[in-house]
């Protein structure tokens, strides 16, 4: 998985988890203040669309997560043969 895949996975998890903790009708309800974290994640996704600045992306890059997908030579050969 590359950085973009990890960002979508982590953001989706945080949104779903904080909704479970922040919505009154949820069986895991803890406090409505968890919805602020949901809004924070959504705001970061929104601002990334304009600024291309992503703190989570910087953290993942520092941890060594690849920025692009690795195309294996076998797959490249298959794509060339189809052309």
Domain-by-domain residue ranges, the chain? 3-82
Residues 6+ apart with CB under 8 A from 7: 54, 56, 57, 60
Would the pTM count as exceeding 0.85? no
pLDDT in tens, 30-76: 999 999 999 999 999 999 999 999 999 999 999 999 998 876 656 55
């Amino acid at each position: 998985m590359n950085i973009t895949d990890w960002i979508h996975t982590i953001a989706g998890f945080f949104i779903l988890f904080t909704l479970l903790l922040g919505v009154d009708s949820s069986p895991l309800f803890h406090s409505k203040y968890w919805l602020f974290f949901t809004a924070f994640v959504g705001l970061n996704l929104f601002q990334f669309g304009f600024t291309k600045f992503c703190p989570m992306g910087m953290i993942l890059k520092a941890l060594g997560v690849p920025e692009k997908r690795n195309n294996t030579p076998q797959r490249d050969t298959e794509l060339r043969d189809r052309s």
